[in-house]
């Protein structure tokens, strides 16, 4: 029997492979903003199914709206820097032209992901149902344990000692 090959399904040798643990390959196929939306929708559906069980003292719409609005600052700032530096925003891009360490990257290596978590937290505070707080936890878990390790390994291979120096100066989150 002849073995069939599917070249379009093979991983390019230049493209970093996804982490083996936790279904990383599946998680990396969708970008974190899509996962954030999925987690928020699932949390809202669970909240609806449970009758919107409230956390004492919540909802607090002014704080939730403020968090959701502030959450856009780091990612927009970072995206602007990427454009000015002429490098790609897509973390799965085979190459990055520049290691960006200015702007929000002085404080955190992941301002875009920090914005997603803050946005999901803002929605949870705004709504006030305890199942909604599962969304920011899920966003944190998928970015911290799937997306970021993949990206850090890729950046380390590409930028070497310059990336290691940057890691020593800026924390993963803050």
In a domain, 84, yes or no: yes
Q: What is the CATH number of the domain that holds 85?
A: 1.20.120.1630
Q: By percentage, how much of the chain surpasses pLDDT 70? A: 84
In a domain, 136, yes or no: yes
Token output for 74? 């780091």
In a domain, 16, yes or no: no
pLDDT computed for residue 27 by the predictor = 64
Task: Judge contact between 103 and 77, C-beta under 8 A.
Answer: yes
The burial class, CB within 10 Å (0-12 / 13-18 / 19+), for 10 is exposed
Q: Provide the domain count of the chain.
A: 1
Q: pTM for this one?
A: 0.83
56-105 pLDDT tens trace: 999 999 999 999 999 999 999 999 999 999 888 887 777 678 899 999 99
Angle between helix 32-49 and 111-127 (nearest 10): 20
Give Cα 58 distance to the centre of its chain: 26
The segments of the chain whose pLDDT lies below 70 read: 1-27, 95
């Amino acid at each position: 029997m002849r073995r069939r090959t599917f070249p379009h399904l093979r991983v390019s040798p230049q493209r970093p492979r996804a982490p083996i643990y936790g279904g990383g390959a599946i998680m990396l196929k969708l970008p974190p903003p899509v996962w954030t939306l999925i987690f928020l929708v699932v949390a809202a559906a669970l909240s609806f199914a449970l009758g919107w069980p409230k956390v004492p003292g919540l909802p607090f719409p002014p704080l939730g709206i403020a968090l959701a609005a502030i959450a856009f600052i780091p990612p927009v700032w970072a995206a602007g820097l990427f454009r000015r530096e002429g490098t790609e925003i897509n973390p799965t891009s085979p190459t990055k032209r520049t290691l960006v360490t200015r702007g929000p990257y002085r404080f955190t290596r992941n301002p875009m992901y920090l914005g997603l978590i803050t946005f999901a937290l803002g929605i949870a505070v705004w709504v006030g149902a305890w199942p909604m707080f599962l969304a920011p936890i899920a966003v944190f878990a998928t970015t911290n344990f799937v997306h970021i390790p993949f990206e850090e390994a890729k950046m380390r291979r590409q930028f070497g000692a310059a990336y290691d120096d940057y890691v020593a100066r800026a924390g993963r989150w803050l």
